[in-house]
């Protein structure tokens, strides 16, 4: 999932360099959304591990 964030960030940077503002904004927004989803899943995973191994 983190790979997709990096891919969309690279697309956003390249599009911004060539002057495609709409495409770069869209790619950056998608990268942000995927990154936030990744962070939420990591936190839920850590909480799950804490509850499983809490004895």
Tokens of 28: 């950056």
User: What is residue 55's predicted lDDT score, i.e. its pLDDT?
Assistant: 65
Residue 11 clears pLDDT 80, i.e. is over it: yes
User: What is residue 33's predicted lDDT score, i.e. its pLDDT?
Assistant: 93
Tokens of 27: 């790619």
Q: 33 versus 20: which is more confidently predicted?
A: 33
User: What is residue 45's predicted lDDT score, i.e. its pLDDT?
Assistant: 93
Cα distances (Å, whole numbers) of residue 44 to 9, 28, 41, 47? 24, 24, 5, 5
User: What is residue 41's predicted lDDT score, i.e. its pLDDT?
Assistant: 93
């Amino acid at each position: 999932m983190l790979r997709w964030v990096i891919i969309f960030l690279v697309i956003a940077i390249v599009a911004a360099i060539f002057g495609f503002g709409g495409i770069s904004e869209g790619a950056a927004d998608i990268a942000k959304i995927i990154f936030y989803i990744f962070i939420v899943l990591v936190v839920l995973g850590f909480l799950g591990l804490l509850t499983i191994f809490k004895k």
